[in-house]
């Protein structure tokens, strides 16, 4: 047996569906007419275009100036590349981040020279905790001492 409350709710749902289906289309303005009216108003508001004059164009063109050739910092051979690569050995006290154990050790990594003064760039983990840095430049057999300028 269907309760009276269920019959009322079903009736209201059907009534709402019927009313929603009977709704008419919303009137929309004619877009073409609106655009045409806007163009007409804009054209009426603008002054007439000035007539072109027959003013001669100057024929004297300035002489081109020489532009300096750009200096290329690109490496052009493998020999140049080898001179820019550095091998780094870091010796010092390190802390294992997983175990939390502190120990004296040495680690190795690579880097590359970035300027004429010999500054080199490497990853932070290569030099973190290092007390002594030895650097081999371009495959040299004798290491150089180095210091950390920033991380």
Buried b (16+ CB within 10 A) or exposed e, 99-114: eeeeeeeebeeebebe
**Rg of the chain over all Cα atoms, to the nearest angstrom:** 40
Read off the pLDDT of each residue in 51-72 and give the average, rounded to a whole number: 67
Encode pLDDT of 102-137 as tens digits.
888 888 999 999 888 889 999 988 888 888 999 999
Residue 24 has pLDDT above 80, yes or no: no
pLDDT band at 17 (very low <50, low <70, confident <90, very high): low
- β-strand 130-137 against 102-113: which pairing, if any? unpaired
User: What are the structural domain ranges in the chain?
Assistant: 78-146
Q: Which runs of consecutive H residues, i.e. helices, occur in 46-112? A: 78-84
The pLDDT > 90 percentage for the chain reads 19
Question: Hey, what's the torsion of the CAs at 128, 134, 137, 141, to 10 degrees?
Answer: -150
Q: In whole angstroms, what is the distance from residue 9 CA to residue 14 CA?
A: 9
Please state which architecture CATH assigns to domain 78-146. Beta Barrel (2.40)
pTM of the model: 0.46
Beta bridge partners of 110: 87
């Amino acid at each position: 047996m269907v309760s009276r409350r269920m019959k009322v709710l079903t009736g209201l749902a059907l009534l709402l569906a019927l009313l929603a289906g009977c709704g008419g289309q919303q009137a929309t303005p004619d877009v073409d007419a609106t655009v045409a009216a806007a163009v007409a108003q804009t054209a009426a508001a603008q002054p007439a275009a000035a007539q072109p004059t027959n003013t001669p164009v100057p024929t004297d063109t300035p002489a081109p100036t020489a532009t300096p050739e750009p200096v290329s910092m690109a490496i052009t051979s493998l020999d140049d590349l080898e001179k820019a690569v550095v091998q780094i050995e870091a010796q010092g006290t390190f802390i294992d981040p997983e175990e939390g154990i502190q120990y004296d050790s040495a680690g190795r990594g690579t880097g590359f020279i970035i300027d004429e003064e010999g500054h080199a760039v490497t990853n932070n983990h290569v030099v973190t905790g290092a007390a002594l840095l030895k650097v081999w430049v371009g495959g040299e057999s004798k290491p150089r001492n180095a210091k950390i300028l920033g991380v």
